[in-house]
A and B are shown apart, each in its own frame.
Chain A
Amino acid sequence: MTTVIHMNDVTMSFGSNQVLRGVELDLHSGEVTGLLGANGAGKTTLIKILSGANSNYSGTVAIDGAAVTIDSPSTSRALGIEAVHQRISDGIVPGLSVAENLLFEGIVVSEVPRFASSRSLVPRAREVAAVLDLDWSDAFLRSDAHGLPIADRQLLLLARALVRKPRLLVLDEPTSALSEVEAVRLFGVIERLRDSGVAILYVSHRLGEIDDIADRLVVLRDGVVCGEHTPPFDWHQALQEMLGAAGAESHASTDEMRGSDEVLKLTGVKLLPKAQTFDVAFRAGEVAGVFGLLGSGLSELANGIFGSEPFRAGRMTLQGEPFAPRSPAESIGRHVFMVPEDRMAGTIIADWSISATATFPFLKAVSRFGLLNPRAESAVGKAVVEDFGVVALSEDDPVVSLSGGNQQKVVIGRWLREQPLVMILDEPFQGIDVGARRDLCKRTREIAAAGAAVITMSSDLEEIMQVADRVLVFVDGDLRFDSYLSETSRDEILQRLSEVG
């Protein structure tokens, strides 16, 4: 088994933010290396360095022992590296035929005659498809790639990556769009490639897949490789490395709150296509921390309760009454509020002041017969700024001029102008510094103490330990574990998370 790629002391910064700090990684031919890392661990940056999209790195990359500089995607390709990125649709050009898409790179560099008829491309395209044993008919190859199902798109991109017989193949969450059957088929292909001597870097949040396919596991955390494993993988250990050792003490021992009144009940809810249904109840007066890795259905749970994207299946009751919101407006009317995951896209209106942002959900409170009262608006803006300790010169400041933490305070604080029954916070601590996080945790607990059922989604166990009274662990859309934090331990939570399929 020979080393194809050797990375030594690879470091990459964006401004003052060091994303990779001296990564050392070997990738061997004929081996599938699984790469595991939490959000922001540096996986994407690492992949981009290999595929030539981030050329600004320092440190050395050697291929077959010779140092190389990967300064562009075409260099990367010339060196025998192919990457299939997670965002499948970015790689497909609708309007071109399937055959043209298969030969796309050849067309771009004019290897393929520019004015070739679609018929003349078909035999070459068939050769490409044959790499993957894709039994695609000529008619299919000539059809527009626009209508291609997502699984076929994934296979098309893979075939395209393989046509140059790469030394290293990087797969970033390759199964996220595939069904079970298609994933099995993909694994077959990966195994065949491995046996033919290709080095494969397999990036996934799905522990089960890595367990099935990988010959080696590398864990990345905060830009450093902090663990390497050989099968059978010790998942418990790997997750410890991925999520970090216990840092902040759980508050649970000191000020745990337990609610008794089951405000919101979910019955037979299904979050993801392949997931099991589950029942759960959320209680007033406590913070429920919903924990899971990326893609485990946390946002689906948040949006389902809020009505912004209904569940695939299942029913809800709110205070014993049926609750089936078809829009956020309806759930807000029932005092179920949500702060969405993506702050920029989901809450911020760019040129608005703090006051305008703060009053927006409840404009009725600052208007009379539809007429806005600027003084009342300022008062609400000021109240949110003061109650939540937002650092700003005045409530007339544009909301985008605030730091992430202060923006988050405004978009959480604005809901508290009315008393929530259920308050959902989807990844509320993303992009927020430690100080602001501690402050927001305190506020979040106060919302529960005031009588709301608070539900906080996070893929960071630290945050859950810090903010929640109760933890719910989701894996691939299945509810795996539900316990008060005082009755469980970090170890047990990781254990439940790591129980592979």
Chain B
Amino acid sequence: MVRIVSDQKTQSIDAKESAAATPRRDIRDLLVRYGFIAVTVVFFVFFFATESSFRLSTTLFSMLKFTAVVAIVGLGVTVTMAVGGLDLSVGATVGMSVTIAAMTMVIYAKTGWVAIIVVILGGVLVGALNAALIVLLKIPDLLATLATMFLVQGLKLVPVDGQSVSSGLILRDGSVAPGRFTPGFLIIDRGAVGPVPYPVIIFALLTIGTWFFLSHTKWGRVMYAIGSNPEAARLAGARVRLYKASAYMIAGVFASIGGLILASRIGQGDISAGNSLLLDAVAVSLVGTSVLGVNRPNAFGTALGAILMGILITGTTIKGSAYYAQDVVKGVVLLIALVFSFTLSRTKQRHVRAVPM
């Protein structure tokens, strides 16, 4: 557990104070605060200038659309990080959501709306399971959500006999599955308002909503307090267990929203969907923590982190890099972000525990 250090120097936005600081410190402050945005802009300009196809607005919006799922799942992770935890089960929840959406529409031949409701209820359920393990059984966050991850990954395969669900699936009794992905459901990913695809709109709304919730409501204030010093929060009357539980429910719901978009995108119940999402979502949340030097999990940071990852991956793909270059890019970005928050920043990192427990 990271201890609260008493002589912590907190960054001040007081102009006089920063003027009094030495130039070297000034540069460091600037770097911590704006370094990440600068990196994002530099890469954007670089790809924009060198690749004509990157300049197409369709490319830009498809890049944002591509980023939306990771970003939305990452926003949920951000909320759990705000209370000092980390939800490792979000990737599995996304995968489960894809399978549930496919089952509801293909096997049970229900409408897209029913699928949406069932999927979100599934997300609530996973969140509730995490909350129960952490709050009632007092299992450390990382371990509890790790167990949930495996459980969810495995259990989702039981009703579908481990098979991907697509229209025309032969059921156990030999009959053909009666339903299909409804056109209305497929619109979630494919529809757009003007040039702006629906997923980008959902992404933007959830970012603003999460930012507003964490920074401008009393519930967000309490969550940050719990993430920073749970004992101080408890002694000031915060219902720590309730807030922790809520954070995991939010993460579950956000993951299921991400799952809905992903299901709509691939149009079938692919059982491997969502597998790579966990690490991406955690990475963008960690990256987001360092953005603007605030050094705490925040929604805009997470969104910006996801967008930077999107720019880099789209850019390198257009440049014709091998597919495995993506992981190298993600690794480097995460590393840079961690250097910003742990090495350069003078505000101590508290929400992200280097060594859990």
Contact = CB atoms under 8 A, between A and B. Distances in A.
A370 interface: yes
A364 B235 contact: no
B232 A361 contact: no
Contacts of B234: 308, 327-328
A350 B4 contact: yes
Contacts of A231: none
Contact of B219 (A349, A370, A401): A370
B235 A349 contact: no
Contacts of B218: 363-364, 366-367, 370-372
A347 B229 CA distance: 8
Interface stretch (A104-112, A337-345, A432-440, A452-460): A337-345
Contacts of A400: 6-8, 10
A400 B4 CA distance: 11
B12 interface: yes
B236 A350 contact: no
B125 interface: no
Interface in A191-231: none
B232 A348 contact: yes
Contacts of B306: none
A329 B219 CA distance: 15
B222 A327 contact: no
Nearest to B238: A329
Contacts of B352: none
Interface string B185-225: 00000000000000000000000000000001111011011
Contacts of A371: 216-218
Nearest to B233: A349
A400 B224 CA distance: 17
Contacts of B350: 350
Nearest to B218: A363
Given A363-B218, A398-B10, A349 B232 contact: yes
Contact of B221 (A328, A348, A360): A360
Nearest to B295: A351
Nearest to B348: A350
B137 interface: no
A326 to B, nearest CB: 11
Interface centre among A338, A363, A366, A398, by most chain B C-beta atoms within 10 angstroms, is A363
A361 B10 CA distance: 22
Contacts of B296: 351
A484 to B, nearest CB: 30
Nearest to B350: A350
B235 A308 contact: yes
Chain A interface size, under 10 / 10 to 19 / 20 to 34 / 35 or more = 20 to 34
B10 A350 contact: yes
Given A332-B237, A340-B235, A370-B217, A350 B222 contact: no
Contacts of A308: 234-235
B167 interface: no
Contacts of A366: 218
Interface residues of B, number: 31
Contacts of B232: 345-349
Contacts of A327: 234, 239
A446 B237 CA distance: 24
A329 B237 CA distance: 4
Contacts of B216: 371-372
Contacts of B231: 345-346
A371 B213 CA distance: 9
Contacts of A364: 218
B221 A361 contact: no
A191 B6 CA distance: 43
A356 interface: yes
B228 interface: yes
A350 B219 CA distance: 19
Given A328-B235, A340-B235, A361-B236, A350 B225 contact: no
A430 B8 CA distance: 20
A351 B231 CA distance: 16
B239 A344 contact: no
A329 B218 CA distance: 15
Nearest to B4: A350
Nearest to B3: A345
B228 A351 contact: yes
B10 A349 contact: no
Interface in A366-423: 366-367, 370-372, 398, 400-401
A63 to B, nearest CB: 37
- Most A CB within 10 A of own CB, among B6, B347, B350: B6
B225 A351 contact: no
B27 interface: no
A332 to B, nearest CB: 4
A370 B6 CA distance: 31
B21 interface: no
B5 interface: yes
A366 B222 CA distance: 13
A437 to B, nearest CB: 19
Interface in B1-54: 4-8, 10, 12
Contact of B6 (A344, A367, A398): A344
Interface string A312-353: 000000000000000111001100001010001111111110
A372 B221 contact: yes
> Which of B10, B219, B236 has the most CB atoms of chain A within a 10 A radius of its CB?
B236
Given A363-B218, A371-B216, A372-B216, A351 B235 contact: no
A348 B4 contact: yes
A474 to B, nearest CB: 22
Contacts of A347: 232, 235-236
Given A329-B239, A344-B4, A351 B10 contact: yes
B235 A338 contact: yes
Contacts of A340: 235
Most buried by A among B7, B221, B232, B235: B235
B20 to A, nearest CB: 14
A348 B10 contact: no
From A333, A351, A398, name the one whose CB has the most chain B CB atoms within 10 angstroms: A351
Nearest to B219: A370
A366 to B, nearest CB: 8
A144 B52 CA distance: 66
Contacts of A351: 8, 10, 228, 295-296, 347
Nearest to A365: B218
A432 to B, nearest CB: 14
A350 B229 contact: yes
Interface string B288-325: 00000001100000000000000000000000000000
Nearest to A344: B6
Contact of A346 (B12, B221, B235, B295): B235
B8 A349 contact: no
B14 to A, nearest CB: 8
A104 to B, nearest CB: 23
Nearest to B347: A351
Q: Which 4 A-B pairs have the closest CB atoms?
A: A363-B218, A332-B237, A398-B10, A367-B218
Given A360-B236, A372-B218, 11 more contacts: A329-B239, A333-B237, A345-B231, A345-B232, A346-B235, A349-B225, A349-B229, A350-B228, A351-B10, A361-B236, A363-B218
Interface of B: 4-8, 10, 12, 216-219, 221-222, 224-225, 228-229, 231-239, 295-296, 347-348, 350
6 contacts: A328-B235, A329-B238, A345-B231, A351-B228, A361-B237, A371-B217
